[in-house]
Amino acid sequence: MAKPVVAIVGRPNVGKSTIFNRIIGDRLAIVEDKPGVTRDRIYGSGEWGGKPFNIIDTGGIEIDGVDEILRSIRMQAELAIEEADVIVFMCDAKSGVVQADEEVAQILYRSGKPVIVAVNKVDNLNRMDDIYEFYSFGFGDPIAISGSHGTGIGDLLDAVIENLPEPKDDEYDEDVIKVALIGRPNVGKSSLVNAILGEERVIVSSIAGTTRDAVDTPFEKDGQKYVIIDTAGMRKRGKVYETTEKYSVMRSLKAIERADVVLVVINGEEGIIEQDKHIAGYAHEAGKATLFVINKWDAVEKDDRTMQEFEQSIRDHFLFMSYAPIVFLSAKTKQRLHKLIPVIQHVAEQHSKRISTHLLNDVVSDAVAYNPPPTDKGRRLRINYVTQVSVKPPTLVIFVNDPELMHFSYERYLENRIRASFDFEGTPIRLFTRRKSDEG
């Protein structure tokens, strides 16, 4: 189920990123604490009143050219209109309405999307009168906020969720494996889709997906039904999308949310760049089954060590995704293509696998006996029991005497032992530590 999207739009220096960070809280900081996880701060998740949503900070989009500020503001506003369900139009109480604000307002007014005017830097009651001139935009009541003090954020979020559309339920049966292809432009996603479908020759139909501009293509292989969620053709929308690859990341995120299995497609000729890490990091954080597909392998000059060295490079760059299998292939020549579908099916099975509490506790008990938790100031972690509470991804709760005694490295050790016993290849595992008394 894809979450609705909120975009924060406005000219530079009105405090967009500060508000963005306040709304998402410390979610990204927690993620970045894990070794090897890189995140692009342009996109985050929030929740208010029990309603989850994704949020875009257009202030995080850097446009080259110091003299092109108005042009860059227009581009960012256009992006928000395209991607968002609700737009937060940020202004600055101290400077009042300026020409750049008028520019943004004109674009947003034509969009027909719900727009909420947030007037930032209302840091005290004396500034409340400064918000009245922002009524001139015609978007209804402006909301006074202060990024530095955190005031008014609740009122802003109340207005946001009031305007959010209801999330759409997925239209596919539970047993259909939904596969999203993500990756930078020109890694060969379209060719790979065509190669998969061309080889199977059992295309049912092409259906316009719930993700804007994506195409869902169902097919069947050996009795298993699949849907490919193709984001490959999404970036050709004029210069606004050619300016920065960050736009293509946003497009991929909607596909990731709807998918069971994510194929991170990498160009074998070019190797790995930082943007690949950002894109893969989103799939990991979303808890999706994931595999790396190294495309254009036919064009790579090889000796007997080339594949092994490339695989090691993937592992070094994606430390946080050591669980994800790697498939080398060529969409163009169909070399090794036959290996892909069995791996997709396998990781989908691991992603939805459920382990009995009895078996889980046997494995964890053995792990603790083999390597007991270290003491911390004379106190030792005691694990009472473990249970799996959900699938997609497999999510386990470990009940202990004191969650603060669970060190990150020991949690990683337990995860590795659980993986070794039950496979879970291709899927992240989520572990939560709870005090025994928190149960039920």
10 annotated as belonging to a binding site for a ligand = yes
| C-alpha triplet 231, 232, 236: angle, nearest 5° | 105
Measured CA to CA, the distance from residue 145 to residue 77 in angstroms comes to 21
64 annotated as belonging to a binding site for a ligand = no
122 annotated as belonging to a binding site for a ligand = yes
Are 62 and 244 in contact, with CB atoms under 8 Å apart?
yes
Query: Can you state the angle between helices 246-258 and 69-83, rounded to 10 degrees?
Result: 10
378 annotated as belonging to a binding site for a ligand = no
21 annotated as belonging to a binding site for a ligand = no
Query: Can you state the angle between helices 16-24 and 153-163, rounded to 10 degrees?
Result: 80
Q: Is the dihedral of CA 201, 202, 205, 209 positive or negative?
A: negative
- State the first-to-last Cα distance of the chain, in angstroms, to the nearest integer: 27
189 annotated as belonging to a binding site for a ligand = yes
HSE-CB for 215 with a 13 A CA cutoff:
12
114 annotated as belonging to a binding site for a ligand = no
Are 317 and 272 in contact, with CB atoms under 8 Å apart?
yes
Measured CA to CA, the distance from residue 216 to residue 179 in angstroms comes to 9
141 annotated as belonging to a binding site for a ligand = no
Residues sharing a CB contact under 8 Å with residue 121, sequence separation 6 or more, in sequence order? 14, 15, 92, 93, 94, 127, 146, 147, 148
175 annotated as belonging to a binding site for a ligand = no
302 annotated as belonging to a binding site for a ligand = no
384 annotated as belonging to a binding site for a ligand = no
295 annotated as belonging to a binding site for a ligand = yes
H or E segment and range at residue 390:
strand 383-390
- As beta bridge partners, residue 399 has 385, 434
121 annotated as belonging to a binding site for a ligand = yes
195 annotated as belonging to a binding site for a ligand = no
188 annotated as belonging to a binding site for a ligand = yes
Token pair of 115 as six digits: 């727009």
Sheet holding 51-57, edge to edge: 43-48, 51-57, 5-9, 86-92, 115-120, 143-144
What phi, psi does 296 have (nearest 5°)? 65, 30
298 annotated as belonging to a binding site for a ligand = yes
Closest CA to 46 of 148, 145, 153, 185: 153
232 annotated as belonging to a binding site for a ligand = yes
230 annotated as belonging to a binding site for a ligand = yes
| C-alpha triplet 340, 345, 349: angle, nearest 5° | 145
281 annotated as belonging to a binding site for a ligand = no
Are 422 and 323 in contact, with CB atoms under 8 Å apart?
no
128 annotated as belonging to a binding site for a ligand = no
3-class state of residue 383 by DSSP: strand
60 annotated as belonging to a binding site for a ligand = yes
330 annotated as belonging to a binding site for a ligand = no
233 annotated as belonging to a binding site for a ligand = yes
58 annotated as belonging to a binding site for a ligand = yes
280 annotated as belonging to a binding site for a ligand = no
Binding-site residue numbers are 10-17, 57-61, 120-123, 183-190, 230-234, 295-298
Binding-site residue numbers for GTP are 10-17, 57-61, 120-123, 183-190, 230-234, 295-298
